[in-house]
Amino acid sequence: MPIWPPQHRLTMKIAIAILASSLVSTGFGLESSPNLVRVLGPQAVNLWRLDAEAKAKTLGNAALRVQDSNESLNPLAEFPVQVFEQPLDHFGGVNGTFNQRYWVNSRHFTSGGPVIVLDGGETSGEDRLQFLDTGIVEILAKATGGLGVVLEHRYYGESIPVPDFSTDNLRFLSNEQAAADSANFMANVKFEGIKDDLTAPKTPWIYYGGSYAGARAAHMKILYPDLVFGAIASSGVTHAALSNWQYMDIIRRAADPTCMRNIEQSIRIVDTILTTRVFARPLKGLFGLADLEHDVDFVSTIESPLGSWQSKNWNPAIGSTRFDTFCAAVNTAPEGMANFTDLPFGARERLVHITDGSALISPSRIMLNTLKTTLLPAAVPPSRSASEPLTIPNTKLSGSIKTGGFGLSKSALNGDTSPYAAKLLPRTAPPDPRTPRIISKLLTLDYESKICKQAYPPGKHFTVPPFPNVTAVNVLGDFAIAADRLAIIDGEVDPWRPDTPHSEDAKPRPDTALRPFKLIPDAVHHYDEYGLADMFAEPPEILKIHNEMIIFVQDWLADFKAPDKV
Ligand SMILES: *[C@@H]1O[C@H](CO)[C@@H](O)[C@H](O)[C@H]1NC(C)=O
Ligand SMILES: *[C@@H]1O[C@H](CO)[C@@H](O)[C@H](O)[C@H]1NC(C)=O
Ligand SMILES: *[C@@H]1O[C@H](CO)[C@@H](O)[C@H](O)[C@H]1NC(C)=O
Ligand SMILES: *[C@@H]1O[C@H](CO)[C@@H](O)[C@H](O)[C@H]1NC(C)=O
């Protein structure tokens, strides 16, 4: 047990002093309000601001270009928003329509060229415009004389078909409805200023998606083979599962080993302390979270920096460095303390005191370090960056629930009616307690799924099912999903890889021109989706995959015959 013996009280006092100064220097208060900002202190507000700035960067250099006051170079100005009228309910029953937003890049279009459409997935379509400007859509459109399109997903951005996100109104947010939107768009859209009929199947459409939208791209190829000529599923999570302990395991195996070992050891201590009950509150207090009622909310919060692994990007202008900052802090001795990298984990010098009367607990210096960094990522507001967690497709809810860590704290949910919807693929601890882990054993499927039930009480027309029907998704192909002109592209160290056809549980398959199957070395989440204006300035692995994609798409298009000419 990590309880300090009395002979170590002197060391303990030093530790208190360090802890106190650390609290002051990081600006974390211990206020009692459960309100997120207040709990996390003014530092958090700063981080929200920084996050907003980082988000601006995700639009390529749009922000900078606007500062140059050259509107013609701002992708938002170059690609004005357009709308397409969609039925609220494609399958009858309820009347009503809504406007689905889309954006068009016609820089390279020449008569006879294909349409390259990017499925916006679970975020505002505006977050995807970088891919129209310098990313995969621009790259493929340029290589094929094609028209590039970003299509916003229903219930995201401004393609909102309902007045509010009550449980009942969420019943039109399903995989089937969203897929039918895309099909209807492809078959009927009339592009402004272009006289050619570019509807499918007269014109070949290449359907691209990354992550959740990657699964949608693969599913579109299976569900609408006559409309979707070719599809590219990048980091496509085609395997639906109720929980996903392998997500964190990929990170544990791929990230800096010293950092991972430190976190593994710390988490074991945290779990041990939490089981004592007596010391749970002071432990949470060390993180400024003494008032979190449920221990599981606490471990969910301190887990959050690990989630930023998936926001890494090969392009530093876009990617998050949060994970590396976190690990650097975990690996570095706190200010004023010696460099004790070489000391064993339980060494006295590494211990930290948690104050609560006579309770003396000694988690380790890692706790102290995490203080400085852990809570920062937890303060990320619900409108996260473009490349963050998403979800499995599921029959009734295909959104992405973003809770910023406070999974079950009531305040985080009260009055919040946006469809933040679902950490639908809960990141749980490994089922076998002997498996090494970097998150608390309290993070179970049961906890992770409660969020849905709390956020969405039963309505009159619709009740969120206790668990999603994963079979309904997996019948479309699961790990083995395949079709001619369906490309599967994944990242070697993508935490979502266990849910893609590149899972270690999937059967290996060949990489062919007709059925490309490519794993990008050292890549995280849909790395091929990003690109530079000058493709040749991209890192070698990215340039390589982009070249391969251009070649297989050109090969596919060479085989295209319009239906009436067959
Ligand atoms: C804005 O961009 C256009 C197109 O590249 C260019 O011709 C023009 O000179 C630029 N204007 C300014 C003020 O930079
Ligand atoms: C939907 O519209 C059709 C045709 O206008 C009409 O016949 C029907 O009654 C409407 N249904 C509902 C539920 O409003
Ligand atoms: C701490 O010591 C280790 C091993 O001697 C060394 O590799 C590391 O660079 C040192 N770190 C700092 C911050 O001085
Ligand atoms: C789940 O989906 C499958 C396939 O669509 C269906 O056969 C099954 O009845 C569904 N199960 C439930 C509980 O709805």
Cα separation, 68 vs 432, whole angstroms: 56
CB 115 within 8 A of CB 198: yes
Given a cut of 80, is residue 95 above it in pLDDT?
Answer: yes
Residues 6+ away with beta carbon under 8 Å from 393: 175, 212, 215, 216, 219, 237, 240, 473
When pLDDT is cut at 50, 70 and 90, the band that residue 337 belongs to is: low
Measured from CB, residues less than 6 Å from any atom of ligand 3 are 332, 339, 341-342
Residue carrying structure tokens 């009367």: 357
Q: In the chain, helix, strand, coil percent, each to 5?
A: 40, 10, 50
Q: Is the CB of 73 under 6 A from ligand 1?
A: yes
Residue 271's pLDDT is what? 86
State which ligand 1 atom lies nearest to the alpha carbon of 68.
14
Q: Assess if CATH 1.10.8.350 describes domain 1-559.
A: no
Distance 431 CA to ligand 2 centre (A): 51
Q: Are strands 230-234 and 486-491 parallel, antiparallel or unpaired?
A: parallel
Strands (E), 359-453: none
Distance 66 CA to ligand 1 centre (A): 12
The top-scoring range by mean pLDDT among 58-62, 360-364, 420-424, 534-538 is 534-538
Given a cut of 60, is residue 83 above it in pLDDT?
Answer: yes
Mean pLDDT of all residues belonging to the chain: 75
Helices (H), 310-444: 322-331, 365-373, 375-378, 410-413
Residue 92's pLDDT is what? 86
111 counts as catalytic: no
Given a cut of 80, is residue 121 above it in pLDDT?
Answer: yes
Distance 475 CA to ligand 4 centre (A): 10
Tell me the CA distances in angstroms from 95 to 3, 92, 162, 168, 306, one per residue in order: 65, 8, 12, 15, 44
Pocket test for ligand 3, best of 339, 340, 343 (most atoms within 8 A of CB): 339
The DSSP secondary structure of 454-493, one letter per residue, reads HHS---SS----SS--HHHHHTT-GGG---TTEEEEEETT
Give, for 97, the enclosing helix (H) or strand (E): strand 97-105
Helices (H) and strands (E) in the chain, counts: 20, 8
Identify the residue with better confidence: 520 or 326.
Answer: 520
CB burial string 88-123: b at 16+ within 10 A, e below: bbbeeeeeeebbbbbbbbbebbeeebbbbbbbbbbb
| Digit-coded pLDDT (tens) for 184-216 | 999 999 999 999 999 999 999 999 999 999 999
CB 150 within 8 A of CB 82: no
Distance 77 CA to ligand 1 centre (A): 13
| Residues paired with 102 in a beta bridge | 82, 151
CB 141 within 8 A of CB 107: yes
CB 63 within 8 A of CB 54: no
Residue closest via CA to ligand 4's atom 5 equals 472
Residue carrying structure tokens 């203080």: 371
Q: Are strands 486-491 and 97-105 parallel, antiparallel or unpaired?
A: unpaired
Residue closest via CA to ligand 1's atom 3 equals 72
Q: Is the CB of 20 under 6 A from ligand 4?
A: no
When pLDDT is cut at 50, 70 and 90, the band that residue 548 belongs to is: very high
Distance 378 CA to ligand 3 centre (A): 29
Q: Is the CB of 67 under 6 A from ligand 1?
A: no
Cα separation, 80 vs 26, whole angstroms: 43
Cα separation, 456 vs 462, whole angstroms: 10
Taking the CA of 87 as reference, the closest ligand is: 2
Peptide bond into 334 cis (omega under 30): no
When pLDDT is cut at 50, 70 and 90, the band that residue 333 belongs to is: low
The values of phi and psi at residue 50, to 5°, are -60, -40
Give, for 99, the enclosing helix (H) or strand (E): strand 97-105
Angle of CA points 281, 284, 286, to nearest 5° = 115
Catalytic residue (one of 133, 478, 490, 494): 494
Catalytic residue (one of 159, 174, 211, 320): 211
Going by C-alpha positions, the residue among 365, 372, 154, 176 that lies closest to residue 269 is: 365
Q: Is the CB of 472 under 6 A from ligand 4?
A: yes
| Digit-coded pLDDT (tens) for 276-331 | 776 788 777 766 677 778 888 888 877 877 888 998 999 988 888 888 877 877 77
Cα separation, 34 vs 414, whole angstroms: 12
Cα separation, 390 vs 142, whole angstroms: 29
211 counts as catalytic: yes
Cα separation, 541 vs 518, whole angstroms: 12
CB 309 within 8 A of CB 495: yes
Q: pTM for the full model?
A: 0.77
DSSP three-state, residue 119: strand
Residue carrying structure tokens 């959104």: 399
Amino acid at 471: T
CB 33 within 8 A of CB 349: no
Q: Are strands 97-105 and 147-151 parallel, antiparallel or unpaired?
A: antiparallel
Q: Is the CB of 72 under 6 A from ligand 1?
A: yes
- CB neighbourhood size of 533 (10 A): 11
- CB neighbourhood size of 464 (10 A): 21
Pocket test for ligand 4, best of 219, 469, 478 (most atoms within 8 A of CB): 469
- Comparing 54-63, 65-74, 167-176, 539-548, the range with the smallest average pLDDT is 54-63
Going by C-alpha positions, the residue among 548, 503, 500, 561 that lies closest to residue 526 is: 500
The values of phi and psi at residue 4, to 5°, are -75, 130
Residue 360's pLDDT is what? 39
Residue 349's pLDDT is what? 56
Residue carrying structure tokens 């009055």: 415
